[in-house]
Structure 1
Amino acid sequence: MPGRRMRVVVDNDFSGDPDGLVQLVHHALSPSVDLRLVIGSHLRPDDPFDPSGTTADNAAVLAREFLALAGRDDVPVQAGSNAGLADRTTPIASPAALALVAEAMRDDVDTPLYVCAGAGLTEVASAWLIEPRIAERLTLVWIGGPEHPGLAVPPPNAMPVEYNLLIDVPAASVVFTDSSIPIWQVPRDAYRQVLASFAELRLRMAEQGELGARLFAALDGVRATSAEHGVDLEETYILGDSPLVLLTALQSAFEPDPSSSRYVVRETPGIGDDGQYRPAPGGRPMRIWTALDNRLVLEDLYAKLALRR
């Protein structure tokens, strides 16, 4: 689309935690973004959000529904694989993975391509296994992975393997260990910073027309379901996928970059079969985001919802 600053492919598990729906709508309402493709990805087989086993198909249905509410019926949506990789050498040639390869390999555009992934990395890994040259043509922005030693410590009672990484450990290992894809990683300690209160969400999201009301209902539904299982979410919700918007659509005007957030550069580690980082001396540099501009990303979300009314 003429005049857009960047191309974006969104890959997320929209039938799981609805923070992905918030991120998708926010990207769809951002005028700097040429939203080229949305991929609905699968959850873990034992995920309580959707035990049906067809979570990628369900994710695609929800993505289309919320894109329509945002006035973006023009954005193509593909369902990814409903299962993770069987090993680190065999891709799953889903229509979504093939569409990602096609977008990355275009030679008729020169705008940068960001693949914004908020769940597992099945489609990204499959796309690279199908066509390794995509690594030279995109930047992966990924919400996932545990804390890095020396940068942060895990939260109390943290899962042994971080949630998004656990969706498909072999795929994460392909992307980190085997591929040369440039990575901007938002690990668990960073994505947990995007904390909104239910009070502000009720006032700043739920009151902003049908689209805002539907997003709030999805978030509030998680609170209700959690309460039925004896878990009280108390007063806040982690909009953990929203950094995908912050680091792409909301880059600075001059010398474009996510200039109001902070990162460190380290060698990209490997990821073992146990879902833990492995040292990889001489690995390609990656950005690890450590501090995020929550004011910018949340206020921009609320403003765009209000303007959409």
Structure 2
Amino acid sequence: MRVIVDNDFAGDPDGLFQLAHALRSPSADVRLIVGSHLHSPQDAEPDDGHQADKAAAKVRELLGVMGLAGRVPVVRGAEGVLGRKDRRNSAEAVAAILAEGMRSDVNTPLFYTAGAGLTDLAAALQAEPRLAQRMTLVWIGGAEHPGGALPPPGATSGEYNFTIDPAAAQFVFGQSDIPIWQVPRDAYRQMLVSFAELRALAQSGPLGAWLVGNVERMRGALAERGMNLGETYALGDSPLVTLTALQSAFEPDPASSRYHLVPTPRLGSDGAYQLRPDGRPMRVYDWIDTRLTFADMFAKLSH
């Protein structure tokens, strides 16, 4: 399969683990990496943050550690939410996404794996609606669905990745035709590893040491602000690899993880699902095979 990886690599380090895992997976032909922005408050100064630039720089640093410098195209995404006029837009990322998505010389499936907001994908779909039928979106984001798990204690009203760019998520769900495999909050919160496991990975070689070093720096910064992460860390973006590279060999599909089908809903401004019986079918993953995911990840990253 072909894979486009889109993530806020300047934020939590879980995206870096997911990207390294994908790059070490032979069945995932990573064709493009998009470094996307984090939250962009409407009152922020136009020149603050440069989050997408930092994300792209972090990716290039990882590629250097992996001996892959210059081997995979890396682009920076927008520096603000969809349609914001005082920030750099998605033009560079859109051109690269369309170049891969609209190819006519290959017939391997194309997955757009997104672990943060959907700004750059939405911009590409607006620029070329036909793109929707040429790829599948696998998205880490969105709140719990009605009838399923309750939100975790203390959760804010909007799920984190949705709130990065609500308008972009609303467009992708409600105004495009792209097939969606969603990993909502109750599913991606299952992706826990222990710090004891991460310490062992750090001893396995330069790549493990670099990845875990990023986690430890984040952990230290949070500790300075009075937050103790305890014994576990959520590698919440890892299902992006499980659902693509780790499919079954016969009748390929993410056979070891569980989902249910729903008509793709519209999203409210707060991320609430607005039922739409005529919506296209959407997979909502309820349970991710963590054993397969992390056994494979530690095996591939430990050298």
User: If the TM-score is normalised by the length of the shorter chain, which range does it land in?
Assistant: over 0.9
In 2, are the aligned partners of 1:12 and 1:119 still within 8 Å (CA)? yes
- Is residue 2:297 matched to residue 1:301? yes
| SS of aligned partner of 2:254 | coil
Q: Which amino acid aligns with 2:192?
A: L
Matches within 5 A, 1:223-262: 223-262=219-258
Contact 1:28–1:67 (CA<8 Å) still a contact in 2? no
Distance across 2 between alignment mates of 1:274 and 1:198: 33
Task: State the partner residue of 1:280.
Answer: 276
CA-atom RMSD in angstroms? 1.4
Tell me, yes or no, if structure 1 residue 150 matches structure 2 residue 147: yes
Is 2:137–2:181's contact at 8 Å kept on the other side of the alignment? Answer: yes
Give the letter for the 1:53 counterpart. G
Q: Describe how 1:197-212 pairs up with structure 2 within 5 A.
A: 197-203=194-200, 205-212=201-208
Cα drift, residue 45 of structure 1: 2.6
Alignment of 1:77-92 (within 5 A): 77-86=74-83, 92=89
Q: Does residue 196 in structure 1 map to residue 193 in structure 2? A: yes
Q: Choose from 12, 31, 45 the match for 1:17.
A: 12
* Offset from partner CA, 1:66-117 (integer Å, 9 cap, x none): 0221222210000000001138xxx944211221111110000000000000
2:175 corresponds to which residue? Answer: 178
2:218 maps to a residue whose letter is: V
Which residue in 2 is equivalent to 1:109? 106
Identity of aligned residues (%): 57
Counterparts of 2:295 and 2:132, CA distance in 1: 33
* Ranges in structure 2 where 5+ consecutive residues have no aligned partner: 42-46
Residue of structure 2 in register with 1:35 after alignment: 30
TM-score norm. by structure 2 comes to: 0.94
- Verify the 8 A CA contact 1:29 1:70 in the aligned structure 2: no
Give yes or no for contact 2:166–2:271 (8 Å, CA) kept in 1.
yes
Residue aligning to 1:3: none
Following the alignment from structure 2 to structure 1, what is the Cα–Cα distance between the partners of residues 293 and 270? 33
2:2·2:31 contact (CA, 8 Å) conserved in 1? Answer: yes
Do 2:80 and 2:89's aligned partners in 1 also have CA atoms closer than 8 Å? no
1:61 pairs with one of 57, 60, 63: 57
Aligned partner of 2:44 in structure 1 is: none
The question of whether the paired residues in 2 share the 8 Å contact of 1:120 and 1:165 is answered with: yes
Aligned residue for 1:159? 156
Relative to the length of structure 1, the TM-score reads 0.93
Count of aligned pairs between the two proteins: 294
Aligned equivalents of 1:293 and 1:274: distance in 2?
Answer: 29
C-alpha separation in 1, matches of 2:202 and 2:90: 39
Contact 2:34–2:76 (CA<8 Å) still a contact in 1? yes
Q: Aligned match of 1:95 in 92, 96, 120?
A: 92
Aligned equivalents of 2:195, 2:277: Cα separation in 1: 44
Unaligned runs of 5+ in 1: 1-5
CA contact (8 A) 2:79 2:89 kept: no
Query: What is the rounded CA distance, in whole Å, between the counterparts of 2:172 and 2:295 in structure 1?
Result: 33
- 3-state SS, counterpart of residue 201 of structure 1: helix
Aligned AA for 2:279?
A: G
**Pick aligned residue for 2:124 from 123, 127, 142:** 127
Matching residue's letter, 2:172? V
Within the candidate set 285, 290, 294, 1:289 is matched to 285
